[in-house]
Amino acid sequence: MLIDVVCALIVNDRREVLAAQRSASMDLPGKWEFPGGKMGPGETPRQALVREIQEELDLAITVQEELPASVHQYEKKSIRLIPFVCSILSGNISLKEHQAYGWFRHTDLAALDWAEADIPILRQYVNKHLGTT
């Protein structure tokens, strides 16, 4: 079964991107990811993303652009990761599920230990928006 999951590439005024580190209570503990989560019944991807970021990070965001989705097969599940480039409208980051977060320049993102499904999204974003280094 393919699970639809949305994720946010939240970009700040310095063109840094927010990444969050999964906690010990989550699948793939310690891995970095773009925050987001599963779509609920009847939700559009954008609605799901706004809800998930509010729930996980206590942030209100605005969605600027949808990027092409990527399908990844983990050992026990398949996900279609639907990424969006976003910015913060209001709020201060409050971690509800993750153990850490950081703002990273595109040159620093590749050094993180990413969840496998997020790697194609990262490459796509860097290539499209920032150019390769």
**What are the boundaries of each domain within the chain?**
2-130
Evaluate if residue 133 carries a pLDDT over 80.
Answer: no
Residue range 2-130, CATH number = 3.90.79.10
Look up tokens 């950081």; give the residue.
102
* pLDDT for residue 127: 85
Residues 6+ apart with CB under 8 A from 42: none
Average pLDDT of the residues of the chain: 93
**pLDDT digits 0-9 by tens, 12-35:** 999 999 999 999 998 899 999 999
pLDDT over 90 (residue 92): yes
Amino acid at 47: Q
* Burial class, 19, CB count within 10 angstroms (exposed 0-12 / middle 13-18 / buried 19+): buried
Query: What end-to-end distance do the CA atoms of the chain give, in Å?
Result: 37
